[in-house]
């Protein structure tokens, strides 16, 4: 049995992998990890780490489980000559754009594909925070927050269809 949360995170990862300069994004990834616990090293950057902190559930008016998954996407890169706020804004834009592109139409110029290809009811962009690190290998990054919403039959932990 595939667990719904894992399936949704797989859909997210497939879209994050679209972030390449060839596809028209501001940046390109070297590494993408799910729920990495140790910090990235300088040679790993630019890199994304993404995770969910759990699942929320209520029974909706139709007798279905209405679920939402808080999703966090952290994107780090080495600092450049640009102001770190400018770089962070580019990183955030790349994440939000990639989440809203189909894997079959991955370019920034391609039309949007909302709700993870209509696999979930909604993907809500909740905002982002700046991150900056200094020292021998300075870096900057962004922590982008989303909420993914879907419904399923009561106690069905495998389905994630809207």
DSSP 16-64: HTT--TTTT-S---SEEEES--SPPPGGG-SEEEEEE---EEEE-TTS-
- Tell me the pLDDT tens digit for each residue of 108-137: 999 999 999 999 999 999 999 999 887 667
pLDDT score of 99: 98
Give how far the C-alpha of residue 58 lies from the chain's centroid of Cα atoms, to the nearest Å: 24
* Whole-structure pTM value: 0.92
Please, what CATH class does the domain formed by 4-152 belong to? alpha beta
């Amino acid at each position: 049995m595939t667990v719904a949360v894992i399936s949704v995170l797989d859909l997210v990862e497939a879209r994050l992998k679209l972030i390449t300069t060839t596809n028209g994004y501001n940046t390109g990834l070297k590494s993408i990890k799910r729920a990495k616990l140790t910090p990235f090293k300088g040679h790993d950057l630019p890199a994304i780490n993404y995770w969910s902190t759990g699942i929320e559930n209520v029974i909706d008016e139709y007798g279905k489980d209405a679920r939402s998954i808080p999703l966090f996407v952290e994107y780090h890169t080495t600092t450049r000559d640009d102001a770190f706020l400018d770089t962070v804004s580019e990183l955030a834009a790349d994440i939000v754009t990639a989440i809203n592109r189909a894997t079959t139409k991955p370019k920034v110029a391609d039309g949007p594909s909302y709700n993870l290809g209509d696999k979930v009811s909604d993907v809500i962009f909740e905002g982002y925070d700046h991150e900056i690190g200094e020292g021998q290998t300075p870096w900057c990054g962004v922590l982008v927050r989303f909420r993914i919403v879907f419904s399923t039959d009561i106690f069905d932990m495998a389905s994630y269809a809207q």
